[in-house]
A and B are shown apart, each in its own frame.
Chain A
């Protein structure tokens, strides 16, 4: 037996350069490695070519009325929204842009990409354009531009990758910068080419607002602190919804005498609220519980005496906050934040109700918001509201208290057992019968609530799955440190559960986005309905339903595809599946 002793331990070496496979080798290895794979490849290729030729022949036939789409851009965006009021839409969009800009500065997406990736995308686009050029009918005018443009892009990409060499693979371009570049490119396109002729200026302003908000956001993060800003922005996102909605649907003529008549109710609630929260956060648990019982009774009582709706709602908010006060407001710092939160909630509630009782001074009455704007409002609203519903139902279903378990299980199983159309119809036709006469919501509000209730039930099941995937040890560690159930849920288990189910949540958001097209059932004119009924029935574009539906499909696809790409990045950033 010979003895081996290593002379000295070897230092690590860099990994070998990835070997570039030649195109033929790649084809042989992946598509023609066995005779039946070869046959399959040929058959599929013939099928794809045949299908694509047919599709292009159909889409590019001289009979197609693609010309009807550009003149209808405004209809697609807003439907019958009064044209003189369109600035409102742009202002609302600017509000969203401010929030997006501030959020991107606060959460700072840290993703990086490389020149190689971008050039590969350019090359792939070129290949696709060239292939399309080969497949379109020879009579199509765009054929040569496609072939030439495609070839140029392929060359550009390939040459760029070769020229950059190994440096092309370094991931050092910030994703945010790349996105900014794309936006600038889009602006250049709309100023140079004849697209978006009438909306050039507003679009440019929107992009500038976005950029300004992002740039203001950076020093703001440093001044205010990241954590505070995150909390504030989360609140603002939720609050943006009623603000946007009211701004779009109302040109308020505020009935000041009504608002003033609330004061004798609202002021006492504010004083009582302040004292109650202070007391609940300082006194022991038992006394706080007694106070809460009193407040719950009072909050119920105001529903039975003639009192303004705003006071009833304010009391509900107050009960929520005093219930949470012993847990979250018992230290000095926490108490201050808690009071700020409560004041904010109160302020926005009063603001919202004030606008809601205001007369609309807009010319058209009722639900006039439509088109892509309505689709987005429904999706955003449904999403923002379905999260709290889903999370509460998931917690209820996993709770140890049988009554909560029963209620949330019942809710989830009932809602999941019926189609969305039924829920929409129910919200539109049945719920108003149970409301006091005269109190009916706009169709948009009812649709948002129905969508949120529906989506919330599915979300609840996803979140529950996440909660169940958390090891028992996490609960035990939190308990062993003396955390209360509420703290354990908010700080330990829920954040982990949500991270674990991001892919499922994104799937849910995507289907929610597509499901908004069902609101036609209650008479709303969302993007899909505009494409299906409204534009094709106009005298100038009669018979163009196919064209419009194809366009709608492409638009839906672009948005859902972007969601799923964005979520992939988010997953990678949060390290789902690793760690």
Chain B
């Protein structure tokens, strides 16, 4: 239980991860409660992606425990697919399926993983396309959309699975400035609707406005965490101060 009485939905205990001899995560311990919005910042190579990818097991941690919605991530296959369909993920490079239309991108996993009928899936897809503001693009192919539109489709595709948690790995880093806002607006709306979100981003405006908590990582560990208030007015650690001075 978190202090505010909400349930912990992600629990990480001393999570460690190596790539060969190189240790990418040096013991991450933290808890995320339901409906919390956590923004993760840190220099390149600090292990931000590696950590959130461990949460839906695109990467496998070697030591420590990760518990998502009450289920511990182990090598048992059944758990993994169950977790993955509860945890949506949005990538920096969108990763839409280029051979399928926008509509098919959003309905595919609904029908095959969630076992919905085609009609249900399409209705859901249209509703989500409305929500992210591009219902008119439903029958185009991803290659025919702008980057911002593609990323909004990718968000809709994840949301279609009714996830309890959404992970975002630098969702706006591959976008032109004009398109960043349209994606951030969708994410803000999502945060206000009560979704639990873990967001790796360099968009400090978003962090300041939406985040409940900011985590600063470096060298595979959490260096400092706290409210956006705390970070932008009164950072404590020297490393944090240096980093913030470089990006702000």
Contact = CB atoms under 8 A, between A and B. Distances in A.
Interface of A: 285, 330-331, 333, 471, 473-474, 476-484, 487, 491-492, 495-496, 499, 575, 578-579
Interface of B: 56, 58, 78, 81-82, 84-85, 87-89, 91, 93, 95-99, 108-109, 111-113, 115, 117, 141, 143, 154, 157-158, 161
A83 B119 CA distance: 56
A484 B98 contact: no
B117 A482 contact: no
Contacts of B117: 331, 333
Contacts of A487: 112-113
Given A330-B115, A483-B112, A496-B99, A476 B158 contact: no
Given A496-B99, A579-B143, A480 B113 contact: no
30 contacts: A285-B78, A330-B115, A331-B115, A471-B93, A473-B95, A474-B97, A476-B58, A476-B95, A477-B91, A480-B56, A480-B88, A480-B158, A481-B108, A481-B109, A481-B113, A481-B157, A481-B161, A482-B82, A482-B84, A482-B109, A482-B113, A483-B113, A487-B112, A487-B113, A491-B108, A491-B112, A492-B97, A496-B97, A496-B99, A578-B143
A482 B78 contact: no
A495 B99 contact: yes
A482 B99 contact: no
Contacts of A482: 81-82, 84-85, 109, 113, 161
Contacts of B81: 482, 484
Contacts of B99: 495-496, 499
Given A473-B95, A482-B109, 19 more contacts: A285-B78, A331-B115, A333-B117, A471-B93, A473-B91, A473-B93, A477-B91, A477-B97, A477-B154, A480-B56, A480-B84, A481-B84, A481-B113, A481-B161, A482-B81, A482-B82, A482-B113, A483-B109, A496-B98
Most chain A C-beta atoms within 10 Å of own C-beta, residue among B82, B95, B113, B115:
B95
Contacts of A496: 97-99
Nearest to A491: B108
B164 to A, nearest CB: 13
A477 B89 CA distance: 8
A495 B56 CA distance: 25
B200 to A, nearest CB: 15
A554 to B, nearest CB: 38
Dominant SS at the A interface?
Answer: helix
Contacts of B108: 481, 491
A325 to B, nearest CB: 14
Nearest to A578: B143
A481 B82 CA distance: 10
Nearest to B58: A476
Contacts of B143: 575, 578-579
Given A473-B93, A495-B99, A579-B141, A479 B112 contact: no
A199 to B, nearest CB: 43
B31 to A, nearest CB: 22
B156 to A, nearest CB: 12
B89 A480 contact: yes
B48 to A, nearest CB: 16
A490 B143 CA distance: 21
B109 A476 contact: no
A492 B98 CA distance: 9
B54 to A, nearest CB: 13
8 smallest CB-CB distances across A and B, nearest first, come from A482-B85, A579-B143, A477-B95, A473-B95, A481-B109, A480-B89, A482-B84, A331-B115
B221 to A, nearest CB: 25
A484 B113 CA distance: 8
Given A487-B113, A499-B99, A479 B93 contact: no
Nearest to A284: B78
Nearest to A327: B112
A578 B115 CA distance: 33
Contact of A479 (B58, B78, B157): B58
A115 to B, nearest CB: 29
B92 to A, nearest CB: 9
Contacts of B161: 481-482
Contacts of A484: 81
A569 B125 CA distance: 33
A333 B121 CA distance: 14
Nearest to A472: B95
A333 B99 CA distance: 24
A486 to B, nearest CB: 10
A259 B87 CA distance: 55
A289 to B, nearest CB: 11
A134 to B, nearest CB: 49
A480 B96 CA distance: 12
A487 B114 CA distance: 13
Contacts of B87: 480
Contacts of B113: 481-483, 487
A492 B142 CA distance: 14
Contacts of A474: 95, 97
A479 B98 contact: no
A477 B96 CA distance: 8
A492 B84 CA distance: 17
Looking at A481, A499, A579, the one whose CB has the most chain B CB atoms below 10 A away is: A481
Nearest to A330: B115
A397 to B, nearest CB: 22
A478 B91 CA distance: 12
Nearest to A480: B89
B143 to A, nearest CB: 4
B139 to A, nearest CB: 15
A265 B56 CA distance: 48
A166 B109 CA distance: 47
A542 to B, nearest CB: 57
A476 B95 CA distance: 8
A579 B101 CA distance: 12
A579 B88 CA distance: 26
Nearest to B89: A480
Contacts of A477: 89, 91, 95-97, 154
